[in-house]
Each structure stands twice: as structure tokens, then as C-alpha cells.
Amino acid sequence: MAIDLRAGAAIVHGKEACDRFSRELIKDIGFPSGLLPGGELIECGRVKATGFTWWKCKDAYEQFNVQTKSMTSYAAETTAYVEKGRMKKMTGVKSKQMFMWIPLSEMSTDGNKITFKASIGITKSLPIEEFMSEEEKKAYLEQGGRVPLGSVQNPEEEIIEPAVTGTHNVLETCSETKVKRVVVMSSGAAVASNPNWPKNEVMDETCWSDKEYCKETKN
């Protein structure tokens, strides 16, 4: 007996509702807005229990990314299983490489990169900011790079490296433009992870996160 992959799905119809659905979904799974579908959407659905999601457009369409100078084609219906930081088992999406259209099967975020996987085994990673809106880029630069919430698999690569690189970029730009004064604001993560700090005592400049504790808890 065939399994109904769409059973129990939350479904919306119409362009306005579908555009809102897509924006909320992309934000929920941690993808930049540049990966939003650009066609005339007529139906969208998501089964939260399994992650199965689909987008139906009036027609198939192609979308050009100015930042990456790449063309992507979308069928009238595309599907994927979505989860935090990942879309897998994708159907209906192809990327043009040279003179060939390559079917994409997966997209995932990893620190400051987005990795695309093709069904034929090809993998390509690009900077995440190339898919951000101007507003997202501004927030990203102000933070000195993305700082994930909660535990991470590789703190050095996902937190320390982006913070150092981002701060360096800001200072370098300030130097080139002869900015006279720079105020660096630290993240709350610099003081918050210290299990030895008295519970009811206010944290000040003498309190620093415990390095070994952060390594053990991957925070």
C-alpha cells in the first residue's frame, strides 16, 4: 500500500500565504532569504512530524543569483525533507554548471558556508553571505559573523573563527577609512558560561566563561 507522504500536513494556498510560509520556514531552519523560492507559488505544505515539505508553482521557472553568478531551475513542484540547517532528498531543483543542468539533492549550512550536494555526487560550498539580503548582511557584519545558539559541534570553527575574522574585517575597514574611534562590544557568551560563579552575584568585568567548561559542553 502506498504511503501518503502528505498526511497530517499544514497546507496553505495562494501567493501571499505561500510567500509567508516560505519566509517563516527558511528562518525556522536557519537558511538565508536568498534561498527563498521566487516563482508564483500557489500551494505549500509541511508535515512537521517528518519534515516533508513541498512547494507548488503556477509554472516551472529559472532563478539567477547575481552574487554567485549561477542559474537554478525549479520544477512546477519541488519537494524536500527539511530540518534545522538542512534540506535533504530534494526533488525538482537543478543547478546549471557550464552547459549542464545538475539535479540538486541536498543543501546544508555549516558555520559560514552553505553546501550543495548533487544527486550525481558533486559537492560545492559557498559563503553563506552570498545568499543574504542586504539587511541580513548588515546584521551579520555587525555581529562579526554568525554566532549559533546552544551547543555546536566545532566551537573553534563555528564561533571563534567567525568572531575573530569578523572583528578583523571591521577594524581593517575602519583603518582604511580613517575612523578615529572603534567601540568593540563583547558577546554575552564571554561571561555567561562559568559554573563556578556565585549564582546570585552580578557578573562584571572580573567574570569570564570557563574555557574548559565550554569545551566540555561545546558552548
Would you say 136 and 33 are in contact if contact means Cβ atoms under 8 Å apart? yes
Residues 173 and 140: their CA atoms lie apart, in Å, by 15
- 16 versus 142: the higher-pLDDT residue is 16
For the chain, what is the mean pLDDT? 82
Burial state string for 1-23 with b = 16 or more CB within 10 A and e = fewer than 16: eeeeeeeebeebeeeeebbebbe
Q: What is the pLDDT of residue 152?
A: 58
> What is the residue extent of each domain of the chain?
10-131, 143-217
pLDDT digits (tens, 9 = 90+) for 29-67: 888 888 877 789 999 999 999 999 999 999 998 888 777
Q: What is the pLDDT of residue 150?
A: 47
Q: How far apart are CA 21 and CA 9, in angstroms?
A: 13
Cell numbers standing for residue 138: 548588515
Q: Given a cut of 60, is residue 146 above it in pLDDT?
A: no
More confident residue, 151 or 124: 124
Residue 6: alpha-carbon gap to chain centroid: 25
Q: How many helices (H) and strands (E) does the chain have?
A: 6, 9
The residue count of the chain comes to 219
User: In Å, what is the CA distance from 128 to each residue of 43, 110, 112, 145?
Assistant: 28, 9, 5, 10
Q: Does domain 10-131 have CATH number 3.30.70?
A: no
| Three-class SS of 108-156 | EEECCEEEEEECCCCEEEEEHHHHCCHHHHHHHHHCCCCCCCCCCCCHH
Looking at residues 104-132, what average pLDDT do you find? Answer: 86
- Full-model pTM: 0.62
Cell of 162: 567567525
Q: Minimum mean pLDDT among 68-72, 109-113, 158-162, 201-205: which range?
A: 158-162
Rounded to the nearest 5°, which phi and psi values hold at 137? -65, -40
Q: Show the cell assigned to 29.
A: 531552519
**Which stretch of 93-107, 121-135, 174-188 has the lowest confidence by average pLDDT?**
174-188
Amino acid at 13: H
73 vs 200 pLDDT, higher one: 73
